[in-house]
Amino acid sequence: MTKRVAIFTLGCKTNQYESEAMAGLFRREGYKQVTFDEKADVYIINTCTVTHLGDRKSRQMIRRAVKKNPGAIVAVTGCYAQTSPGEVLEIPGVDLVIGTRDRDRIVELVEEAEKSPVPVNAVRDIMSQRLFEDMSILDYENRTRAFVKIQEGCSNFCTYCIIPYARGPLRSRSPDKVLDEVKRLVEEGFKEIVLTGIHIGAYGAGLEEKTDLADLVVRISLTPGVKRLRLGSVEPLDITPRLIEAVAGIRTVCRHLHIPLQSGDDYILNRMNRHYNTFEFSRLVGAIRSQVPDIAITTDIIVGFPGETAERFENTYEFVKETAFSKTHVFKYSPRKGTPAAGYPEQVPAEDKDARCKRLIALDRENQKNFARQFLGRSMEVLFEQPAGEEEELWEGLTDNYIRVLVKSSEDLKGQFADVRIVKLKGTNLLGKMKI
């Protein structure tokens, strides 16, 4: 009887990449992958712990799996499992806890747990891990954009962040392995490659050969058939002049940099252990914009970090306004057990966090519109992904500088590049016309 496996993923692109890779390993062993709503023989919950909501949602999905089929093997992987294996094992019905190591052995570990009379805690120490766990995605659902994991771990220890304790120290995938996966994806018809990891700006750390992200970007862009290369989040201090040159000079590299700022107040940046101040950050943004016209600079902001007074929040608000990011992801500070900031005095009341979050999200919408408005009347190359859903024959896609564009067409545009003349702003998106 063919065994069925269902995987539920929480959290970031890297977690999604690892879930896809694990799914491929099960399929290769003859398992049939089913959706998480269906009955399965094995349930994998790939967890997240970046906020307390991640923990709570992870527990909810674990309980849902147990309820769906009490006879199934329930295995829990990912960051919450790595940092809190005891809490996970306390949930009735959990058979196996793995964490953020050994996912490449998931099938074997699940089959061992099947034979075990008691739940198996296979979580191993992550802080001593020095090797990059090489897992690649064996086959894909869509054929437009593919994520490629190039790096693992982080050693920055920002005071609010649990990730270094969940993912361990910096490790990098060998450039040859990355290039092999890119070549395979290009052969399979993928149009856009997105480099992902936990701290990709530190790419090269842990490898014998001396290399870095800029090197890798150049080598990938020289791979025949690569149409578009997009970078995941890059920390401010990791953006080198050579990386800016690569974004400026190589047509296939998307004019889009996601650079987490986290706060626009220098006192708070210092308390976060971020190692730069707002002057240095704006100077970096200025240098990038002067070399790469029309580039999208997107960012992350945490509101309500301990010690963030109303005045300090105003500094952040004004900085985001002045810098005019093309997109700002806003997060409310969430104390993480085991991180220094969780024990800091001057924790900010929830209602203040809510109010600040609302204000920044409203500002972000204006910034997004202002950025998109610059392209009215211009021609943009768009990579179409899927029907937009709102109307018949309306398709949506992304420009290289990360603007969502909608176009009417009776053709199947899925996975197609097309030149589009921009005619109108539609919310924070653009409406265009296909160029004949």
Q: Which residues of the shown chain bind ligand SF4 in the complex (CB under 6 A)?
A: 154, 156-158, 161, 163-164, 198-199, 235
DSSP 16-71: HHHHHHHHHHHHHTTPEE--TTS--SEEEEEE--SSHHHHHHHHHHHHHHHHH-TT
Nearest CB to ligand SF4, comparing residues 162 and 420:
162
Other residues' Cβ atoms within 10 Å of the Cβ of residue 183? 15
Element (H, E) at 121: strand 120-121
Looking at the Cβ atoms of 119 and 153, the one nearer to ligand SF4 is: 153
Minimum separation from the CB atom of position 157 to ligand SF4 (A): 6
Integer-rounded Cα Rg, in Å, for the chain is 22
Shortest reach from residue 144's CB to ligand SF4, in Å:
27
**Residues in the chain, how many?**
436
Cα 56 from Cα 17, distance rounded (Å): 22
Min CB(238)–ligand SF4 separation in Å: 9
Least distance between ligand SF4 and beta carbon 98 (Å): 21
Residue 110 or 163 having the CB closest to ligand SF4: 163
Measured between its terminal Cα atoms, the distance across the chain in Å is 54
Distance, CA of 92 to CA of 342 (rounded, Å): 29
- CB of residue 168 to ligand SF4, shortest distance in Å: 11
CB 100 within 8 A of CB 167: yes
The DSSP letter of residue 231 is: E
**Shortest approach of ligand SF4 to residue 364 CB, angstroms?**
20
> What six digits make up the tokens of 360?
């920044």
Of 263 and 368, nearer to ligand SF4 (C-beta) is 263
Burial classification of residue 142, based on how many CB atoms lie within 10 Å of its CB (0-12 exposed, 13-18 middle, 19 or more buried): exposed
- Shortest CB 51 distance to ligand SF4, Å: 12
Distance CA 154, CA 202 (A): 8
The alpha carbon dihedral of 207, 210, 213, 217 has a sign of negative
Residue 318 phi/psi, 5-degree rounding, is -65, -35
Q: Cα-Cα-Cα-Cα dihedral of 351, 352, 358, 361, to 10°?
A: -140
Identify residue 376 by its one-letter amino acid code.
Answer: L
Between residues 97 and 198, which has the closer beta carbon with respect to ligand SF4?
198
User: Is the CB of 238 or the CB of 385 nearer to ligand SF4?
Assistant: 238
CB of 233 or CB of 326, closer to ligand SF4: 233
Are 379 and 435 in contact, with CB atoms under 8 Å apart? yes
Q: Which CB atom, from 59 or from 167, has the smaller least distance to ligand SF4?
A: 167
Q: How far is CA 190 from CA 141, 149, 386, 417, in A?
A: 11, 15, 14, 12
The nearest distance, CB 163 to ligand SF4, in angstroms, is 4
Question: Helix 310-323 vs helix 350-373: angle between axes, to the nearest 10 degrees?
Answer: 10
**In the complex, what is the shortest distance from the CB of residue 164 to ligand SF4, in angstroms, rounded to a whole number?**
5
Nearer to ligand SF4, 50 or 73 (CB): 50
